[in-house]
Structure 1
Amino acid sequence: MEQLILDLSAYAEATGRSPQAVLRSAINAKWGTWDAWRAGRSSPTLSSVDRVRRYMAAHPPLREEAA
């Protein structure tokens, strides 16, 4: 779980979005899901983890090309 939190945080920062917004796009998560995961009040299912990771792989952060 800790690794997912770190990966999702890094991905969100790289895309300029909030982790919750990424979760909404990836798995249609309800608002508050991210906070619950981080606080340990809730955990994702393995299916949700797989869907989030597939979403991040399919939508990589855009990198600025060197001029």
Structure 2
Amino acid sequence: MFRQYPDVIDVHTLQKMLGISRHHAYRLITSGRIKGRKVGKSYKIPKVYVIDFLLQNDEADTLAQKGNS
């Protein structure tokens, strides 16, 4: 899953992976639903946490349904 992406991503890449807005991406990170760490002025997110979010979260189901409509 997501083999074309590096092991550690930024917010912009998270947006592309999930098809979400910048605002939504930051909400997911700051709320802790997707784990990330602020390094300098930007967030770094291990790809494994994005996959974990997709596999275990009801919100991910909602995102997938929006993408299919």
- Normalised by the shorter chain, which TM-score bucket? 0.3 to 0.5
Question: Quick check: which has more Rg, 1 or 2?
Answer: 1
Higher strand share: 2
Give the TM-score of the pair, scaled to structure 2. 0.40
Higher helix share: 1
